[in-house]
């Protein structure tokens, strides 16, 4: 089971400000190991963020997103106490979903 | 192997279906089929085409904001923050011109979400970074050159 994400969601003005740090190698597939063999690509491809059943942000990524991806975005319509769920899936079919509660202003 | 080929062939049709499904609001979000064609492209124009556009127009309403650097000390972790002032921004994509594969990320901005995103990318060498915005079905871009002192693609 992949390591959990660290998510911080808080109110900035009337928007929910979300910062996430995900744990993932984001291996490009271009690096070679000590024997000269290419290390297989292993990277997050899809990220979906939902709040109250609605997708408020989503992304498709390639392997050039940095290792242990960082993401910061803002959406409207959330209130303190409500939950934000973030899910990622990678090119090997691995998946991780974490949720956080929106902190008050 | 077969499944991958089928997926790539499907990608064109599925993307179109996915877009329609999105408009109809069919319940909780389906993870959109990963656009392999777009992530394999080697140029800005090819990436825009693969994302469904026919050419991007430069726009001063797309800005790279702090903490996007002029000089990146570590090419493995380059912060890129983009803000779009173009009305009805639907998506923001980040491309690195000199990377082996140009498209780094494509962020979908639903209505009600700020057209703003901050993340970190790997850059192999000094290069132009493009932010490509799709708004109202049309494509726009802004470019910023970022110097890289230590390349980040693991060479």
CB contact under 8 A, B113 and A67: no
Indicate whether A1 belongs to any domain.
Answer: no
Answer whether B110's CB lies under 8 Å from B25's CB: no
Indicate whether A26 belongs to any domain.
Answer: yes
Q: How many domains does chain B have?
A: 2
**Residues B91, B18: Cα–Cα separation, whole Å:** 15
CB neighbour list of residue B114: distance below 8 Å, 6 or more residues apart: A15, A73, A74, A75, A76
Query: pLDDT value at position B151?
Result: 62
Residue B2 domain boundaries = 1-34
Smallest CA-to-CA distance from B111 within A11, A55, A87, A10 is with A55
Smallest CA-to-CA distance from A5 within A19, A66, A62 is with A19
**Chain A interface includes B101 (CB < 8 A):** yes
| A50 neighbourhood in chain B, CB within 8 Å | 28-29
CB contact under 8 A, A46 and B31: yes
Query: pLDDT value at position A44?
Result: 97
**Residues A45, B35: Cα–Cα separation, whole Å:** 9
pLDDT-derived band at B5, boundaries 50, 70, 90: low
pLDDT, tens digit, 9 for 90 and up, residues A4-47: 999 999 999 999 999 999 999 999 999 999 999 999 999 999 99
Chain B residue with the nearest C-alpha to that of A58: B108
Residue A76 domain boundaries = 6-101
pLDDT-derived band at B17, boundaries 50, 70, 90: very low
Answer whether A85's CB lies under 8 Å from A98's CB: yes
Interface predicted TM-score (ipTM) of this complex, two decimals: 0.95
pLDDT, tens digit, 9 for 90 and up, residues A38-84: 999 999 999 999 999 999 999 999 999 999 999 999 999 999 999 99
Q: How many domains does chain A have?
A: 1
């Amino acid at each position: 089971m992949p390591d959990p994400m660290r998510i911080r969601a808080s109110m900035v003005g009337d928007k929910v400000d979300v910062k996430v740090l995900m744990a993932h190698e984001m291996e490009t597939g271009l690096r070679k190991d000590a024997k000269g063999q290419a290390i297989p690509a292993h990277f997050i491809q899809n990220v979906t963020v939902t709040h109250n059943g609605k997708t408020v942000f989503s992304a498709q990524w390639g392997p050039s997103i940095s290792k242990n991806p960082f993401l910061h975005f803002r959406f409207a319509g959330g209130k303190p106490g409500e939950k934000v769920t973030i899910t990622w899936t990678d090119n090997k079919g691995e998946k991780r979903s974490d949720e956080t509660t929106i902190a008050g202003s | 192997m077969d499944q991958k080929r089928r997926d790539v062939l499907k990608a064109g049709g599925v993307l179109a279906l996915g877009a329609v499904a999105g408009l109809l609001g069919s319940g909780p979000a389906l993870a959109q089929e990963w656009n392999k064609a777009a992530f394999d492209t080697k140029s800005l124009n090819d990436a825009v085409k693969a994302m469904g556009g026919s050419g991007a127009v430069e726009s001063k309403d797309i800005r790279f904001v702090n903490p996007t650097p002029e000089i990146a000390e570590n090419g493995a972790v380059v912060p890129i923050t983009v803000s779009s002032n173009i009305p009805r921004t639907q998506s923001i994509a980040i491309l690195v011109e000199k990377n082996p594969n140009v498209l780094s990320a494509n962020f979908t901005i639903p209505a009600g979400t700020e057209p703003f995103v901050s993340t970190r990318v790997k850059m192999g060498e000094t290069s132009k970074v493009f932010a490509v915005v799709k708004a109202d079905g049309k494509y726009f871009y802004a470019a910023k050159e970022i110097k890289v002192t230590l390349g980040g693609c693991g060479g």
